[in-house]
Chains A and B, each alone.
Chain A
Amino acid sequence: MTNFLQALAPATRTYKDHSQPLWRRILLSREAAVIGATLLVIIVASVSVRAFAKPITATYLLLDIAPILLIALPMTLIIITGEIDLSVASIVGLSSVTLGVLHSNGMPIEAAGLVALIVGAVAGALNGFLITIVGLPSLAVTIGTLALYRGLAVGLLGTKAVTEFTEFWTDLAKSKIGATAIPSVVIPIVILALIFGVILHLTPFGRGVFAIGLSAEAARFSGIHVERTKFILFMLSGLVSALAGIYYTLRFSSARGDNATGLELSVIAAVLLGGVSIFGGRGSTLGPLAGAVLIGVLASALRLANVTSDVINIITGTLLVASVVATSFLAWLRNKRIRPGKKTENLVAAKG
């Protein structure tokens, strides 16, 4: 089922122009622009905001955006296939509550964590089942599961919170690597980022993901198992969200039904800022990570400058809208610039 704008917009998705030298392809990419903007913000903030350029800033920043970084990885793949998953924050809450309820009833925290991961995978699998086998649109399904999983989480714990956790694990969640200011949670993030990056860019599965985003029908006829791919992606999304939920719970020592409410907006903002097209078919794993860092750095700098956190929300929202509008605008410009004669030469297009 094509969404509204896929049906209306002229299809002009192009592949990278490999006639350009490698260094140019890298520097002129969306990811480089985002990284550049991030560095710019860091520079300006270090100079003008008191107390920004301390190592502890980096620590808090990374601790804060770790869940977003984690969830942005499978979300990238899902958006590349043209679907969306709005229920990730609710799965974070559900896994958080599972961890809390089981642990407070005596289960050792490791086992409870494992069960929480399984719960997340099952939740993701339910999403995948409804989307691939029943054939429902992902927007509607994930809005429904957003309410359902969040409701289950709140229902299980009421509005209480479980706040007693084994100190070893809560300390681990907040510990740093050696003597640096970098929190240890960065290690699993980097590992997962590498795994997802390899999957997306270097495996047939990843090529399949891109193909599905560009044209599900064509992909199906090329022998790519569309349903299975999407199912796996949604299950992965649930699993990683559960992992983020465990981290979130341990970091704040608080398992609550409404933990991480609204996180899906930050994740989608980061992913779209990082150059992943909402129409599907293009993107990378590096961009969303850079996008998450950009938003986090901006938020951190503004908070330290005593700008209220609502302005941060305004900025995130505007950034989200601006980044997608800019992509659309640039595509429109590219369209206008193509002269009739050169059309077949410059355009390696795929119809939506």
Chain B
Amino acid sequence: MTALSPAPTVGSRIAHGLGSFVKARETGILLALVLVVVAATVKNPNFLFSSDGFRDLLLTPSILLLVAVGQAIVIITRNVDLSVGSVLGLTAYLTGRLFIDVPGIPVIAVFAIGIVAGGFLGLINGALVAFAKVPALVITLGTLYAYRGVNVLWTGSDRINSSDMPASFLALGTQSILFIPVLTIIAVVVLIIAAWYLRNQRGGRELYAIGSDPAAANLYGLKVTQRLLAAFILCGALAGLAGVLYAARYGTVNSQAGAGYELNAVGAAVIGGVAIFGGSGSVWGAAIGAYLLLTINRALPILGVQDFWQRAVVGALIIGAIVLDRVLALRQAKRLVEARGDLQ
């Protein structure tokens, strides 16, 4: 038995809190983001200080933020959802179609329908994973294809033009409240709710348990199937919301909307510290990861690197992140073994 340690003082508690904040993965990513922004702004002050520049910096990644948060939730349960890009595309097109076919439909109804549609698509994924016990990788690979095909089939050779949608809806894509774009506010609110749920609600914490050790979670009596379904539905719903926001932001929607988003979403989550084998990480990390990825995209040309290399940078970052995770995990395990050795 270890000797009892003295009760923690306020000072040591603060120090402990600060220490864990500093060591947290999310802080590291945040630092990297700040560094990138600083470097780009030094080179070209317009990057941050023009009103357009500031707005775009905050605005464009907010769509990816939503998708990355949903992806993080699924990855935490040791699964993955590759179909989010196709879900986004479908709901974006659905949004446009609703405005065209149902004139006068209230904007809030469109939001609701988009979220529900995304959730439904996520339910299909979740049901196949949970009930048919098929690996999520394969299911979502298949639904990525299938949903995109449905999207292209439905779209035909049409596209939704910005003139088809009401100005009030499109204004959401460019308006700002107190210098912060409306879309970013929506995304951050969702992020806060998701983070609170994962940390403070039973359903959220059980996701971590399921991801850490599914067999143990099962034996412990957690309702694994239910939680899995919830995770996938959430992921789909968030992708659906992202689709509605995409339509507001870009105005024009064709059949290829959202193609490739899944890679960025998984990358953002992994870079943000969500372990690919589940059980750890937070949606804050995924959110910062999303911002980091797209800001690098914008900053590269300013720093003199052709933006063709952006994908390579993303790939290198993902690999770097998971190697870092592994190294840290090994070091942690070693430390634990040594600590155990100390007791004897």
- B311 touches A (CB below 8 Å): yes
Q: Does A268 contact B (CB under 8 A)?
A: yes
Q: Is the CB of B152 within 8 A of A308?
A: yes
Q: Decide yes or no whether A145 CB sits under 8 A from chain B.
A: yes
A22 within 8 A of B: no
B77 touches A272 (CB 8 A): no
Max count, chain A CB within 10 A of own CB: residue among B80, B129, B323: B323
For the complex of A and B, list the 5 residue pairs with the smallest distance between their C-beta atoms, beginning with the closest: A148-B315, A151-B312, A317-B145, A151-B311, A147-B315
Asked whether B250 is an interface residue with its Cβ less than 8 Å from the other chain, the reply is no
Tell which of B135, B263, B323 touches A134, judged by Cβ atoms closer than 8 Å.
Answer: B323
Say yes or no for A137: interface residue by CB 8 A criterion: yes
Q: CB-CB < 8 A to A311: which residues of B?
A: 149, 153
Bitwise interface map of A from 133 to 145 toward B, beta carbon under 8 Å scored 1, else 0: 0111101110111
Which residues of B have CB within 8 Å of A196?
A: none
User: B277–A130 contact, CB under 8 A?
Assistant: no
Q: Indicate if B115 sits at the interface (CB-CB under 8 A).
A: no
Given contacts A314-B145, A321-B142, contact A7 B214 (CB under 8 A): yes
Most buried by B among A136, A144, A268, A312: A144
Name the one of A9, A147, A265, A324 contacting B312, with C-beta atoms under 8 angstroms: A147
Contact with A along B58-84 (1 / 0, CB 8 A): 000000000000000000011110000
Within B124-143, the residues touching A (CB, 8 Å) are 128-129, 132-139, 141-143
- Let me know if A35 is at the binding interface, CB within 8 A: no
Chain B residues with CB under 8 Å of A1's CB are 277
Question: Closest CB of chain B to A110's CB: distance in Å?
Answer: 28
Residues of A within 8 A of B142 (CB): 269, 317-321, 324
Report yes or no: B135 in contact with A3, Cβ–Cβ below 8 A: yes
Per-residue 0/1 for B210-231: is the Cβ within 8 Å of any A Cβ (1 yes, 0 no)? 0101110010000010000000
Stretch touching chain B among A39-47, A154-162, A242-250, A283-291 = A154-162
The digit string for A255-287, where 1 denotes a CB below 8 A from any CB of B, is 001000000010011001000001100000000
Cβ proximity bits A293-318 to B, threshold 8 Å, 1 near / 0 not:
00000000000000010111111111
Asked if B150 is at the interface of the complex by the 8 Å CB criterion, the answer is yes
| Cβ–Cβ contact B138 & A147, under 8 A | no
Contacts of A329 in B (CB 8 A): 132
**A318:B263 contact, CB within 8 angstroms:** no
Tell whether, in the assembled complex, residue B138 and residue A272 are in contact, meaning their CB atoms are under 8 Å apart: yes
Cβ of B144 under 8 Å from chain A: yes
Partner of B311, one of A150, A272, A314, A317: A150
Cβ-defined contact, A320 with B141, below 8 A: yes
Contacts A7-B215, A136-B326, A148-B312 given; does A313 touch B152 at CB 8 Å: yes
- Evaluate contact between B152 and A137: CB separation under 8 angstroms: no
Please tell me if A4 contacts chain B, counting CB pairs below 8 Å.
yes
Tell me if B308 counts as interface (CB < 8 A to partner A). yes
- Among candidates B214, B309, B318, residue contacting A4 with C-beta atoms closer than 8 Å: B214
Contacting residues, chain B, for A137 (C-beta < 8 A): 276-277, 322
- With both chains docked as a complex, state the minimum distance between the C-beta of A175 and any C-beta of chain B, in angstroms: 32
Q: Cβ of A312: which chain B residues have Cβ within 8 Å of it?
A: 149
* B266 touching A143, Cβ below 8 Å: yes
Contacts A308-B153, A312-B149, A321-B143 given; does A278 touch B135 at CB 8 Å:
yes
- The answer to whether A152 has its CB under 8 Å from any CB of chain B is yes
CA separation between A152 and B326, bound complex, in Å? Answer: 24
A319 to B148: give the CA distance in the assembly, Å: 15
B41, CB-defined interface residue at 8 Å? no
- Minimum CB–CB distance from B281 to chain A (whole Å) comes to 12
Is there a chain A Cβ closer than 8 Å to B306's Cβ?
yes
Query: Whose C-beta in chain B lies nearest to the C-beta of A4?
Result: B78
Residue-wise, chain A 1-17 has the 8 Å CB interface mask toward B (1 for contact) of: 10111011100000000
Residues of A within 8 Å of B308, CB to CB, are 154-155, 158-159, 257
Which chain B residue lies CB-closest to A87?
B315
Q: Smallest distance from the beta carbon of B35 to chain A beta carbons, Å?
A: 21
**Does B134 contact A5, Cβ atoms closer than 8 Å?**
yes
Whether A84 is near chain B, meaning CB under 8 Å from some CB there, is: yes
A8 to B133, CA, bound (A): 8
CA distance A188 to B305 in the complex (A): 41
CB proximity of B268 to chain A, nearest CB, Å = 12
Interface residues of B in 188-246 (CB under 8 A from A): 211, 213-215, 218, 224
Query: Cβ of A29 < 8 Å from any Cβ of B?
Result: no
Decide: B312 and A139 in contact? CB cutoff 8 A: no
Q: Would you call A147 and B314 a contact (CB within 8 A)?
A: yes
Is the C-beta of A203 less than 8 angstroms from some C-beta in chain B? Answer: no
- Cα-based distance from A319 to B211 in the complex (angstroms): 28
Chain A 151-174, CB-CB to B under 8 Å as 1, else 0, gives 110110011000000000000000
Closest approach, in angstroms, between the C-beta of A101 and any C-beta of chain B? 13
Question: How far apart are the CA atoms of A148 and B278 in the complex, in Å?
Answer: 23
B319 beta carbon closer than 8 Å to chain A = yes
Q: Which residue of B lies closest to A319 (CB)?
A: B142
* B224 CB contacts on chain A under 8 angstroms: 8
Q: How far is the CB of A338 from chain B (nearest CB, A)?
A: 17
Specify which chain A residues have a CB less than 8 angstroms from the CB of B309 in the assembled complex: 151, 154-155
B contact residues around A325 at 8 Å (CB): 128, 132, 134
How many Å lie between the Cα of A154 and that of B305 in the bound state? 13
The reply on B39 being an interface residue by CB < 8 A is no
A328 within 8 A of B: yes
Neighbour of A314 across the interface among B137, B146, B310, B312, CB < 8 A:
B146
